[in-house]
Structure 1
Amino acid sequence: MGIESSTTTAASAAAIGLREAKKRETRQLISDRATELFIAQGFERTTIAEIADAARVAKKTVTNYFPHKEDLAFDHQDEFVAGLARTVAAREPGESALAALRSSFLSAVMAHDPVAGFAGPEFTRMIAESPTLTTCLRGLHDRREDALAAALAEATGADPGDITPRTAASLLGGVHRVLFGRIQELTLAGHTNSEIASVLLPEAMEAFTLLEPALSDYAR
């Protein structure tokens, strides 16, 4: 009975793994087809029905995976929103929040990380030309800052009414927001990722250095 039980459990786990893999494939397919259509004809002019047809799925399948149309364009939004908070939570002992976030951002620039803004000219132009997506991006920056404030409050043991974590998050999030916009600006100007990185590295160092008088020891 033990062998049968183990075999059944393994088979069940394998089936679940296959279903999850299929779901991920379907989700990625829908996202890819949606992005292609958004780039080709604009976000506002693209319908859910057209996306469903392109991905060869039902409209309901699209909305099951992506409840809001904007989610199709920003399919990595959860990673974006949580990124700064995770960096603070994972910082080394004795490392300040500023130092951890600066190091993480510089690494992202060198890696040409899409989440940091290296999304390519077509995708970047798609966002810039869409009022809906531009507004949504601002909201994602706000949510990322809120998540960072919560992480800083936890890291420092701040009282619920203490505005210090929110103030620090505003400063740190503001630098990231400016640098993200800078990457978009240079991308739309026709620069390659390597060229953008060469410009961003010294600019990012200068931007983070401006925060050192206030935050060099914060959340150390």
Structure 2
Amino acid sequence: MGAMTAGLRELKKQQTRQSISDTATRLFIEHGFEKVTIAEIAAAAQVAKMTVTNYFPRKEDLALDTHETFIASLARTVAARAEGESALAALRREFMAAVERHDAVTGFSGPDFARMIADSPTLTARLRELHELREDALARVLAADTEAAPGDLTPRAAAALLTTAHRTLFQQVMDLSLAGRDNREIAAVVAGAAHRVFDLLEPSLAGYAVRPRPS
């Protein structure tokens, strides 16, 4: 009974968090991120102002509510790569799959959401910060997996190249969304661009951080 109660309590928390985020995003799209207050979000979501800030200490994360998944995405892909697979190959494979399913982590969000971010200096800055945090997370995984010596810049350099590729493609998705292209069109264009971008990295990173096969 205790486990069931705890599970229901957690489900209720998740539902409340999602409801607040959905309400906030709707208001941000309608009125602009900078113009909407936390008090207005709380009133529209029918919760206390403190409830909003308890779930979302930063106002930006009300809009970018999947930031934790976004930050961890590249590192998780590399950490879970198959035997004999390089970091580049794993990230390329997962990116292409994410584009095919129109995943928000690659930038698919629709024109209204893309416009909300583009029109807000605060959200644009926060998105840039999330890209940097994602690079940091990837660099840590690469350093650990390759047993890099302290001070070795190779994992950081590799993470910078790989994250920049993803950031560039993410921006292309956003730009195409702003131009009114639908998800199928965007996916077709970005898939082609992704192959070219990842091909550029092959000469330097194809053999880097390859997961060893059992001897």
TM-score interval for Structure 1 and Structure 2 normalised by the shorter chain: over 0.9
TM-score (norm 1): 0.95
Q: Which residue pairs with 1:27 in the alignment?
A: 17
Distance 1:155 1:47 in 2: 44
The code of the aligned residue for 1:133 comes to L
Q: Which residue pairs with 1:7 in the alignment?
A: none
Match of 2:29 among 25, 33, 39: 39
1:72-83 alignment, distance < 5 Å: 72-83=62-73
TM-score (norm 2): 0.97
1:1-220 alignment, distance < 5 Å: 11-220=1-210
Aligned length: 210
Aligned-pair CA distance for 1:160: 2.0
Deviation digits for residues 178-198 of structure 1 (CA, Å, limit 9, x no counterpart): 000000011101100000011
Distance 2:54 2:168 in 1: 34
The code of the aligned residue for 2:110 comes to G
Aligned-pair CA distance for 1:115: 1.4
Aligned-pair CA distance for 1:203: 0.7
Larger Rg: 1
Distance 2:199 2:75 in 1: 20
Alpha-carbon RMSD across the aligned residues, in angstroms, is 0.5
Deviation digits for residues 38-63 of structure 1 (CA, Å, limit 9, x no counterpart): 00000000000000001000000000
Deviation digits for residues 140-191 of structure 1 (CA, Å, limit 9, x no counterpart): 0000001000011111111121100000000000000000000001110110
Where does the alignment leave 5 or more consecutive residues of structure 2 unmatched?
211-215
SS of the aligned residue for 1:57 comes to: coil
Where does the alignment leave 5 or more consecutive residues of structure 1 unmatched?
1-10
The code of the aligned residue for 2:168 comes to V
Distance 1:111 1:156 in 2: 31
Distance 1:160 1:66 in 2: 36
- Please list every run of at least 4 consecutive aligned residues from structure 1 whose deviation after the TM superposition is greater than 2 angstroms: none
